[in-house]
Structure 1
Amino acid sequence: MDNTVVGVFDSYAQAQSAMNELIASGFSRTDVQLNPDQETSASSTTTTDNTSDSGGIGGFFRSLFGMDDQVGDRDTYAEAVRRGSCVLTVNADNDEQRDRAIDIMNRYDPVDLDERSTHWRNSGWTGYDASAPRLTDDEIVQERSRYSTTGTTGTTGITGTTGATSTAANLTDTTRTEGSQTIPVIQEELAVGKRQVQRGGVRVYQRVRETPVTESVQLRDETIHVERHKVDQPASQADLAAFKEGAIELRETDEEAVVGKSARVVEEVVVGKDVTQRTEQIQDTVRRTDVEVEQLGAGTTRTAGMTDDSDFRTHWQTAYGQQGGRYEDYDAAYRYGSSLSSRDRFQADRWNEVEPQVRSEWESNNPGSAWDKVKDAVRYGAQRVTNNQQRNH
């Protein structure tokens, strides 16, 4: 299910910078939308019916929040655009992308729309009016000065919507404190459940099969024969007694076969299942972020022989800058290389000999990070610190 992260920015430049970093971090350009999509003057007082423009503000927020559901959220974001703000949305395929988008967008000072809309209502706003004109530049400056005096700035308000329900919810609500930064320590936990899967089975068909059979039976047929014989003799007393009218009737009888069928159960097929329980050991890995605090001296070099960050950034710009991405993606590799110089067994000038062991250790501690991508950074970090130590001696 897709997640949509939504952020509101008072500065178009901040929204544009956030969008550029989102794209540079791997999001597709088609998944990132900025409304308005270009920096335009808000000083026009022409009345515009945004609901009639399917490609305008009304159409943009209807596509984001739906036609009927979450009308309040849709109107609040549309009102923010009318008052000169920019709305940046990111479609994330999973929770990891959603959290990454929130982290990036929070770096560019998004506004807390809940507090902002509360301020509007306290000032008499009753709902979004599509026919109302956008604020002019002077009106925007005056209104934002009132935000500053009422304390409605300085908080972040990135929200996320779930694609199936389009329900907006505040995902973060942090207060910025000057001079401090919160670094979360994240640890994965292994949750093992179970589910039913199809492993095959048996389908039993019952069909009627006809088999020809032959049986023998004796049948009796009767046939009447009538014969006449000429006789010349005197009539007897019995003949005289029979000398009267009458009738004699004889009938023929035949036998015919009569077929009857009876059903008998001659076999039974029993279908059942045997259920057994088994215990399976699940082995996997979980990740945790470890935060190391390093004390920096007053000079330009780091303690424990580590070089200043600017050396690494210069090397990254030369070696990786043309490939895109960020220096932060390689910072851990530079630091890891710097730590190698403190080991007795490591010699930077014999890199080919130690590289297999270094690679194995890196891949073990950094699963998912391709060694061929960062090995130049690791080697430079090790050689740079080693060279500094030799010069200091």
Structure 2
Amino acid sequence: MQQARQWNVTALFDSRKDAEDAVERLVATRIPKDRIRLVPGNEIDPKGDPDAWDEEAPAPEQRMGILESLRGLFFPDDERFTYGEHLRRGCYLVSVQVTDAEHDRALDILDDEGTVDMDAREDRWRAGGWAGPVVPLTAANEDDSVWRRDVERSRPRVRSYVGGAAAVNTGG
């Protein structure tokens, strides 16, 4: 174990194959599998256009199931609702914990074809009537440690969150 700044890099994909390909590429760069997580959405193809706002609200048990699947991931609690909405609509989330040295490589892998531009999609949903939360760039998670989106190291299709120094298994 080595002390290092901890990052969580996340991306959403419309297809399971694209998400699995990203996971395989991360593993090929020697990022340990126990630091990579793939969270499937509904496991069904979204009806019609996933960019379009669909007025059909999820049942409370479905919404809680999706939100519970995001527990333990390192990003602000407020953002769980937005990720949850993407998952409810059939997206696949890939999340990877990395050190400073691994960060840019993971960002490049996840910022590849098939990655969803979350901000653009959310803007289209809001224009169509979606009233999901407006997420601040800094929020405390349930452990009272602060995880914030680093806007300078994030990209339009990949979000990068930074936490404090933490023990990260560097696989070495």
More strand by share: 2
Q: Note the 1:232-247 alignment, pairs <5 A.
A: none
Which residue does the alignment assign to 2:116?
111
Partner letter of residue 103 of structure 1?
D
Deviation at 1:43, TM superposition (A): 6.9
What is the alpha-carbon distance in structure 1 between the residues aligned to residue 104 and residue 36 of structure 2?
15
Deviation at 1:108, TM superposition (A): 3.2
Matched position secondary structure for 2:11 = strand
The gaps in structure 1 that reach 5 residues or longer are 129-162, 175-393
What is the alpha-carbon distance in structure 2 between the residues aligned to residue 90 and residue 106 of structure 1?
13
* TM-score normalised by the chain length of structure 1: 0.30
What is the alpha-carbon distance in structure 1 between the residues aligned to residue 101 and residue 39 of structure 2?
24
Deviation at 1:30, TM superposition (A): 1.0
- Contact conserved, 1:65 with 1:74, CA < 8 A, in 2? no
* TM-score normalised by the chain length of structure 2: 0.65
1:24 aligns with 2:28: yes
In the alignment, which of 22, 28, 36 is matched to residue 40 of structure 2?
A: 36
Partner letter of residue 173 of structure 1?
P
1:61 aligns with 2:64: no
**Pair 1:42–1:173, CA change in 2 (3 A):** closer
Which residue does the alignment assign to 2:100?
95
What is the alpha-carbon distance in structure 1 between the residues aligned to residue 31 and residue 18 of structure 2?
18
Q: Note the 1:1-393 alignment, pairs <5 A.
A: 1-36=5-40, 40-42=43-45, 47=59, 49-50=61-62, 52=64, 56-65=65-74, 69-71=76-78, 73-92=79-98, 94-127=99-132, 164-170=145-151, 171-173=154-156
Deviation at 1:58, TM superposition (A): 1.2
More helix by share: 1
Matched position secondary structure for 2:155 = coil
Deviation at 1:70, TM superposition (A): 4.2
- Contact conserved, 1:8 with 1:87, CA < 8 A, in 2? yes
**Pair 1:65–1:24, CA change in 2 (3 A):** closer
Matched position secondary structure for 1:13 = helix
Q: CA RMSD in A?
A: 3.0
Structure 1 stretches (4+) deviating beyond 6 angstroms?
Answer: 43-46
After superposition, give the CA deviation of every residue in 1:48-76 in whole Å (9 maximum; x if it has no partner): 51465xxx42123232257xx541x2111
**Pair 1:31–1:57, CA change in 2 (3 A):** same
Deviation at 1:98, TM superposition (A): 1.2
Paired residue total: 133
Matched position secondary structure for 1:103 = helix
Deviation at 1:88, TM superposition (A): 0.5
Matched position secondary structure for 2:30 = coil
What is the alpha-carbon distance in structure 2 between the residues aligned to residue 43 and residue 113 of structure 1?
16
**Pair 1:65–1:119, CA change in 2 (3 A):** farther
- Contact conserved, 1:4 with 1:89, CA < 8 A, in 2? yes
What is the alpha-carbon distance in structure 2 between the residues aligned to residue 29 and residue 76 of structure 1?
25
What is the alpha-carbon distance in structure 2 between the residues aligned to residue 50 and residue 8 of structure 1?
19
Q: Which has the higher contact order (CA 8 A, sep 6+)?
A: 2
Matched position secondary structure for 1:109 = coil
Partner letter of residue 82 of structure 2?
T
Matched position secondary structure for 1:63 = coil
What is the alpha-carbon distance in structure 2 between the residues aligned to residue 74 and residue 102 of structure 1?
20
After superposition, give the CA deviation of every residue in 1:237-257 in whole Å (9 maximum; x if it has no partner): xxxxxxxxxxxxxxxxxxxxx
- Contact conserved, 1:34 with 1:86, CA < 8 A, in 2? yes
The gaps in structure 2 that reach 5 residues or longer are 48-55, 134-140, 158-172
What is the alpha-carbon distance in structure 2 between the residues aligned to residue 108 and residue 27 of structure 1?
20
What is the alpha-carbon distance in structure 1 between the residues aligned to residue 87 and residue 63 of structure 2?
14
Deviation at 1:100, TM superposition (A): 0.8
- Contact conserved, 1:15 with 1:108, CA < 8 A, in 2? no
